[in-house]
Structure 1
Amino acid sequence: MVVGVVAGAAVAAVLVLIGLFKLMWRVAEPNEALVISGSKHRTEGLEEGMGFRIVTGRGTLVLPGVQAVRRLSLDLNETELRVDCVTHQGIPLKVRGVVIFKVGDDYVSIANAARRFLDQQKLMAERVHNVFAGHLRSIVGGLTVEDMIRDREKLTGQTRAACGTEMEKLGLIVDSLQIHEIEDPTGYIANLAMPHAAAVQRDARIAQAEANRLATEAEQQAAARMAEATRDSEILQAGYQAERDKAAAKARQAGPLADAAARQEVVVQETRVAELEAHRREQQLQADVRKPADARAYEKRTLAEAERDARISAAQAKARETELAAAAEATRVKTAAAAEAEATTSRGAATAQATRATGEAEAAAAQARGLAEAEAARARGLAEAEAIKARAAALAENQEAVVAQQLAENWPEIVRAGASAFGSVDHMVLLNGADGMAETFTKALAMGGTGLGLARQLLAQLNGNDNGKGDGNGQAPNGTSPHSGAAAPAAQQVAVDPDRS
């Protein structure tokens, strides 16, 4: 029980002490100063025995009932200046400005401000206005209007310097002093500015005229450059348009050119096909006409040569036999003559007989060789005549094939002669596209192929001559073949004399 009472008393005592401490503890805000009076204190920078203490930026204990605490604001204050002044020239002016001030931060300034404005802080701005108004009138009275206009900073500096001592005694400091406006009710400043304004206006008009001139020149130059640029642009556009037209024309001609190229390729392929067909026909003629005729002629020529060789061999054998017989006879005669040793007459007779036998043998051999050569020549003539007759018969039966064969052999030269018409052409423009190209190539080939019609006409004339003037053996009056003019150069005629054999 006693412990509880003691504990409660202790808690109550602590609470009482805390309450008393809160009542006694005062804290100064950053923008204020605490002025504590009621006891004798010594403050640094102040006279001894001032009777109050200044606290800034911290807390302190104050004895209630013994000491009094007052707060002095350290915030900025502002007052507007509206002062009617008269210059050294006697010209009335109205000066408008603003003063920004505050209580100084040192203890001396706070003490001076506390003794003067602690209970009258709201009247501080009025007091400052009166101080600056008086000094401003005094300073303006010693200046001219021109000085105030040209050097307003001088007016501001003199005013601050004149008020500095008094503001320090009041414990105040001036943060800023600005002269906003100087009003001139009499119009002196306006009249003072007129000559300068006229000069400025004159210079402005001159400058404006010069600027107008330069602007006009610049505009004309700009217009000239614009015209030049327009011309260049139109030239470029015309060039581009020409290129576009050219490209469009090429594009439009691309289709006809492609068709023409395709038709040209078709013509080339058809030409190759025609060449192959002509070559095939030539091979067929070789196989059907020329080779059988050559085979028959070769057969006859071979048989004639074999017969000739056989006769020549027989003649040579007979002549050899004769020679051997004559030699044997001569030997026999000589042997008989030597054996018998007959007279010189017998030997001469035997010698004469041997000589005669030798001559006869040589004559027989020469006659046999002549007969063999004649038979061979006759066989060759007959074979060639048969070959020519076979070619003539083939020409009479299928003259179109022979002419086509000759044209096929010479077709490259014919096409080259037809295409030579385009040899000197550098650039060709066809207005009707692929049809024009096809027509042009057709005419060129037609120019080279007119030989076919001429050959046919010549064959027709020759056939007419055969029907009207030829004899029953198929020979023309001049003794040549009726088809010799249209036959190939290889089909030459050989005349055979039947009496030569």
Structure 2
Amino acid sequence: MFVGVVAGAVVVALVVLVVLFKMMWRVAEPNEALVISGSKHKTAGVDDGMGFRIVTGRGTLVTPGLQVVRRLSLDLNEADLDVECVTSQGIPVRVKGVVIFKVGDDQASIANAARRFLDQQKMMGSRVHNVFAGHLRSIVGGLTVENMIRDRERLTGETRAASGSEMEKLGLIIDSLQIQEILDPTGYIKNLAAPHAAAVQRDARIAQAEADRAATQAEQEANARKAESTRNSEILQAGYRAEMEKATAQSQQAGPLAEAAARQEVVVQETRVAELEAQRREQQLQIDVRKPADAAAYQTRTVAEAERDARISAAQAQAQETELRAAAEATRVKTAALADAEATKAHALAQADATRASGEAEAAAAKARGLAQAAAVQAQGLAQAEAAKALGLAEAEAIKARAAALAENQEAVVAQQLAENWPEIVRAGASAFGNVEHMVLLNGAEGMGEMFAKALTMGGTGLGLARQLLGQMKEQSPAAPSLNGSTPKSEQIPVQSDGPEGRTG
């Protein structure tokens, strides 16, 4: 019985020991760390006397009631980034990304994370988001939108490097940082892409146009070859039919008819050869000249239409803006003009009445003066015309009378002319004494009288010479003047006249 009691006691003791061992033994999972507090421990890599012990990947004994065991997860955590930033150009952007992080595997990182997140492990994501948001705003503020788009690795690397020291203090390590999307609420990125998209669209349209042109050219060439084959076939068939008909005709006809048919066939064949050559040249011209010209014209027209549409769109936008601005300005000007018009309307009406009365009076006076001046000018012109006409008639009558007198009595006419010009004759004779400075007269006053008498008789001498000349002309003239004073054209005698008429005959 004593043995049974001992055996029972041993079993009870063993059971108690097993239960106590299970209560005191703790095992850390691969993805967690045990943080044991309640006694002073020394941990490798960590400051001595930190007040807790860290166990990872193994089991350890914990004294119930004296020590407390808590678990710190070493799993991966994810923090979404959605940060509104402003670039160095002053353009607001919105950066979206994701940070994948975890507690470091070393004792120091676990200790730092345990001190900060042991009871707030669910708050790790928000804390990490705040850290990265601040650094991301700072880094984006030093970049342009173009740099962010073209070099995202630079943005990622600088953000990760700037946040690394702070994450290390938190006991966290960054497994991955990805910038997923850069949103542009102002449309700056879209506008950056517009010229490239337009260039790509333009190149696509040009390529399509080139393809259409090449396809059209190939199709036209194929049609031309097809038409040429059809033509050649029809020509051959026509030749065969002609040969058959010729053989039939030759068999039915004989002699001269066969010879005439042969000559006709030669002419027909030559004509067909000429026609075929002309058709070949025409097709060649179509392929070499017209088709390339049509393709070039289509390309030019397509490019011009695209440029015209772009200019029309820009002009329409500018026209709408100008129209709105002009409408606002017109409303303002119209209001001011209406006010000014109402203020000046009465004054303008009074001035208009006065101006109209004054203008009508001046117009009537100017009209009367114009009529009077026109009448005076007309009367003066008529008087001058009548005077000129009367003077012309008088001169004509004088010439006619002189001519008649000359025909009747030439000596009287010559004497009259000498008498009319006697003062000039005497003056011309006396002019011989004008250059004489000293004159010596031997017989005194009698000599002076003789000199003047000689000067005065020079006219008489001239009259005698004129008479002698007229006498000689009468002797040489075979016919006498007619009763009316006229002579034949071949017998008229020219007479020198010193009157205003000049020389008459």
TM-score class, shorter-chain normalisation, is 0.3 to 0.5
Q: Quick one: higher RCO (CA 8 Å, sep 6+), 1 or 2? A: 1
Which entry has the higher C-alpha Rg, 1 or 2? 1
Structure 2 length-normalised TM: 0.43
